Chains A and B, each alone.
Chain A
Amino acid sequence: METLNSITPELIRIVMAVVGGVVIVFGNALVMGYLERKLAGHFQRRPGPMEVGFHGILQLLIDGVKLMGKQLVVPAQADKKLFMLAPMLSFVPVFLPLLVIPFSDKMQAFDLDVGLLFILAVAAINVLAILVGGWGSNNKYSLFGAFRSVAQNVAYEIPMLISLLAIVFMTNTFSLKGIVEAQNIWFVVLQPVAFLIYLVCMVAETNRAPFDLPEAESELTAGFHTEYSGMGFSLFMMAEYTNMFICCSIATVFFLGGTSGIPLPYFEYTGAIWFVAKVYLLMFFLVWIRWTYPRTRFDQLMNLCWKYLIPFSLVNLLITVVVVKL
């Protein structure tokens, strides 16, 4: 009986965390799907979706129903197992990092000591999913997209991690909660270079324009998800949006002070409002640049990473280390 009592709160905690994670994944995909189309519309001097519901607010629900109703076509020559596995492989891991993100003081499922490493490790599985999807489709364009994606994501993970390491050196912890608590001044003020490098890497990691080479429509039709239809496609889309959410959350935790903001009642819970507001501000930024810039070429993208971002982030790390030790 005593053991049951001690287990139950933990069990409830796990169940709540999982349910919360799923809610965030789907909710975020709905909100972002709508926001992206609406914002794109306004950037392009048109209203965007207007028909379903007030200002098209239910459009994404309708689209979801449509996508679920679509047949999932598997190309004749495709590797069927890999082809079916890829969307799931892409979708499942993106949900795990949500468990360690501190939405507010008390809204965090697990405060791992190695929270940052956990997120980066799990997020890397997404690359594998894209490779599997591109390979399994047995389509040259898909394979192109997959190869580009692997090269790009692997390259950009390096400056991303190095720029975040500068913060870790300042706070002496990998725990996301510890990093939030260590921020008396937001680190975006103390580490502007790291923040800028992180922003660029974030765009590349989430495969968004101007770095959306894995799915560059004008070159590769749709890149790695050329052959996917229906739910296969929408799982990839949801993974992309969740990936954006996680990357923006990390930026919020590391540079924008996490939950800090004007105090509200019950701040240990309501701090999440500020957190989410900051995340969506960054997401707005991502949408904004997507609809503004043309796409870079692949060699230019890689040059940017290897020739500029990695050296700069290393120098930044070195300076940080020296300053911290002094």
Chain B
Amino acid sequence: MMNVDVLQDERHHRFVLNMGPQHPSTHGVLRVLLEMEGEYALELQPVLGYGHRCHEKIAEYKPAKNFMPNTARMDYLGALIYNHGYAMLLERACGIEVPRRAEYIRVIVDELNRIQSHLLWLGAYLLDLGAFTPIMYSFDDREEILDILEDITGSRLTYCYMRVGGVCKDIDDKFVSRTRAFIDRLRSRYSIYEELVNGNVILQKRLIDVGDYTPEICARYGVTGPLLRGTGVEYDLRKAESYSVYSEFDFEIPTEQRGDSWASYNVRYREIEQSLRIIEQALDKLPEGDFIAPKVPKKLKIPAGDYNSSVEAPRGELSYYLVSDGSDMPYRLKIRTPSYCNLSVLPEMCKGMMIADVVACMGALDLVIPEIDR
């Protein structure tokens, strides 16, 4: 905690500005203490924990399978991907084979989830920068995804669609045709986003060279995801560790060289198209078969040992680390969430910045606070 007395005493021309937990651009319950001198923030200190819900402790008190709904409550924008990572962890630990159709369904819904997360980020980020209108357009598109996913998963935000060994419900022809229609729709909207938003001079002036960082800083802080790819490092777990069936699809990892807010903005924006490509290929190649492994034991005993599963969440690397003592309850479950590490770079990134740039940087991190606090 910053020493407020000292500030008032010795460096009396500085003051502490308390941003959050209720502030429009901290997206939830993040609190940042800014030591300001005029418009410039000299020191930043994020204060966490307002949304802490003890997920790791809860995990130790219920059968491993039953923890699935909790995973969705961590990152409400990447719930299906969190589901996927957790399902993968248990399958890996217990050696359960997942049917190919289930893997394909997982990939499709993962990527839909990723697109809706990026669309929400796009709108909310521009709202942070003072453009009120784009969020309505991106929500318009996002709504389509939510409707599609609602049809098969039954919920709109905190999905619990995946099960150990597959998914809980098969997809139907209606899902396939709606998803295809959505792909065409979103592609037809690119020109709107590109001409009205990305090409805007004010936006570019606000983002270019704001919040510089390098691959080295990323390594020291463990920054992953679109932020890392914004520095030119081509690192995406979908390729680097090619989990599930991602190795069967042809897609690129968008990278930018600049390492600033504008770079990560463009990386995210271009990822939407790559996700669409994956979905398209997956729909074309969708195999027939079971959507869930036939023989998954009711009581899932996890062999003793430690297991790890890492997936690429919309914001970066998500890792589950499970320590088991041989019972059906995890002995310890640690969840590494991407925003947690991405946020930790903020004090270094924003030193000496204007308050408007701090907001721009914070938006570029694409924070989801519940996954930081867990």
Direct contact of A and B (CB under 8 A): yes
Interface membership of B17, Cβ < 8 A:
yes
Contact assessment for A46 and B131 in the assembled complex, using a CB-CB cutoff below 8 Å: no
Check A300/B130 contact, CB under 8 A, given A218-B24, A218-B359, A221-B23: no
Contact assessment for B202 and A218 in the assembled complex, using a CB-CB cutoff below 8 Å: no
Q: Which residues of B contact A216 (CB under 8 A)?
A: 130, 356
Contact assessment for B359 and A219 in the assembled complex, using a CB-CB cutoff below 8 Å: yes
How near does chain A come to B118, taking the closest CB pair, in angstroms?
18
Check A294/B206 contact, CB under 8 A, given A212-B130, A219-B25, A219-B359: yes
Per-residue CB contact flags for chain B residues 313-327 toward chain A (1 = under 8 Å, else 0) read 000000000000000
Check A219/B355 contact, CB under 8 A, given A46-B136, A293-B131, A296-B206: yes
A221 to B39, CA, bound (A): 15
Q: Which residues of A contact B15 (CB under 8 A)?
A: 140
Check A300/B205 contact, CB under 8 A, given A40-B132, A210-B130, A295-B130: yes
Check A294/B202 contact, CB under 8 A, given A140-B15, A140-B17, A212-B130: yes
How near does chain B come to A280, taking the closest CB pair, in angstroms?
21
Contact assessment for A294 and B354 in the assembled complex, using a CB-CB cutoff below 8 Å: no
Contact assessment for A45 and B136 in the assembled complex, using a CB-CB cutoff below 8 Å: yes
Which of A45, A217, A218, A292 has the most C-beta atoms of chain B within 10 angstroms of its own C-beta? A218
Contact assessment for B356 and A298 in the assembled complex, using a CB-CB cutoff below 8 Å: yes
How near does chain A come to B109, taking the closest CB pair, in angstroms?
27
Interface membership of B137, Cβ < 8 A:
yes
How near does chain A come to B207, taking the closest CB pair, in angstroms?
10
Q: Which residues of B contact A45 (CB under 8 A)?
A: 136-137, 140
Selected contact of A218 from candidates B17, B128, B196, B200, CB within 8 Å: B128
Q: Which residues of B contact A210 (CB under 8 A)?
A: 130, 202
Per-residue CB contact flags for chain B residues 328-339 toward chain A (1 = under 8 Å, else 0) read 000000000000
Number of interface residues of A (CB under 8 A): 28
A300 to B128, CA, bound (A): 17
A300 to B201, CA, bound (A): 12
Contact assessment for B133 and A43 in the assembled complex, using a CB-CB cutoff below 8 Å: yes
Contact assessment for A294 and B129 in the assembled complex, using a CB-CB cutoff below 8 Å: yes
Interface membership of A10, Cβ < 8 A:
no
Q: Which residues of A contact B137 (CB under 8 A)?
A: 44-45
Check A294/B23 contact, CB under 8 A, given A45-B137, A300-B205: no
A42 to B357, CA, bound (A): 30
How near does chain A come to B199, taking the closest CB pair, in angstroms?
12
A311 to B359, CA, bound (A): 32
Q: Which residues of A contact B356 (CB under 8 A)?
A: 216, 219, 295, 297-298
Per-residue CB contact flags for chain A residues 284-304 toward chain B (1 = under 8 Å, else 0) read 000000111111111110000
Per-residue CB contact flags for chain B residues 94-121 toward chain A (1 = under 8 Å, else 0) read 0000000000000000000000000000
A43 to B137, CA, bound (A): 10
Contact assessment for B24 and A292 in the assembled complex, using a CB-CB cutoff below 8 Å: no
Interface membership of B127, Cβ < 8 A:
yes
A210 to B196, CA, bound (A): 15
Contact assessment for A218 and B354 in the assembled complex, using a CB-CB cutoff below 8 Å: no
Interface membership of A209, Cβ < 8 A:
yes
Contact assessment for A295 and B39 in the assembled complex, using a CB-CB cutoff below 8 Å: no
Per-residue CB contact flags for chain B residues 136-148 toward chain A (1 = under 8 Å, else 0) read 1100100000000
How near does chain B come to A37, taking the closest CB pair, in angstroms?
12
Per-residue CB contact flags for chain A residues 137-158 toward chain B (1 = under 8 Å, else 0) read 0001100100000000000000
A209 to B202, CA, bound (A): 12
Q: Which residues of B contact A40 (CB under 8 A)?
A: 132-133
Q: Which residues of B contact A212 (CB under 8 A)?
A: 130
A299 to B355, CA, bound (A): 11
Contact assessment for A218 and B25 in the assembled complex, using a CB-CB cutoff below 8 Å: yes
How near does chain B come to A268, taking the closest CB pair, in angstroms?
42
How near does chain B come to A281, taking the closest CB pair, in angstroms?
21
A292 to B23, CA, bound (A): 23
Per-residue CB contact flags for chain B residues 265-283 toward chain A (1 = under 8 Å, else 0) read 0000000000000000000
Q: Which residues of B contact A144 (CB under 8 A)?
A: 39, 355
Contact assessment for A44 and B133 in the assembled complex, using a CB-CB cutoff below 8 Å: yes
Selected contact of A297 from candidates B25, B126, B354, CB within 8 Å: B354
Interface membership of B171, Cβ < 8 A:
no
Closest to B140 in A: A45
Check A294/B131 contact, CB under 8 A, given A44-B136, A219-B25, A221-B23: yes
Q: Which residues of A contact B140 (CB under 8 A)?
A: 45
Can you give 21 contacting A-B residue pairs, CB < 8 Å? A40-B132, A43-B133, A44-B132, A212-B130, A216-B130, A217-B24, A218-B129, A218-B130, A220-B355, A291-B132, A291-B133, A292-B196, A293-B200, A293-B202, A295-B202, A295-B356, A296-B205, A297-B205, A297-B206, A298-B354, A299-B39
Residues of chain A touching chain B, judged by Cβ–Cβ distance below 8 Å, are: 40, 43-46, 140-141, 144, 209-210, 212, 216-221, 290-300
Residues of chain B touching chain A, judged by Cβ–Cβ distance below 8 Å, are: 15, 17-18, 23-25, 39, 126-133, 136-137, 140, 196, 200, 202-203, 205-206, 354-357, 359
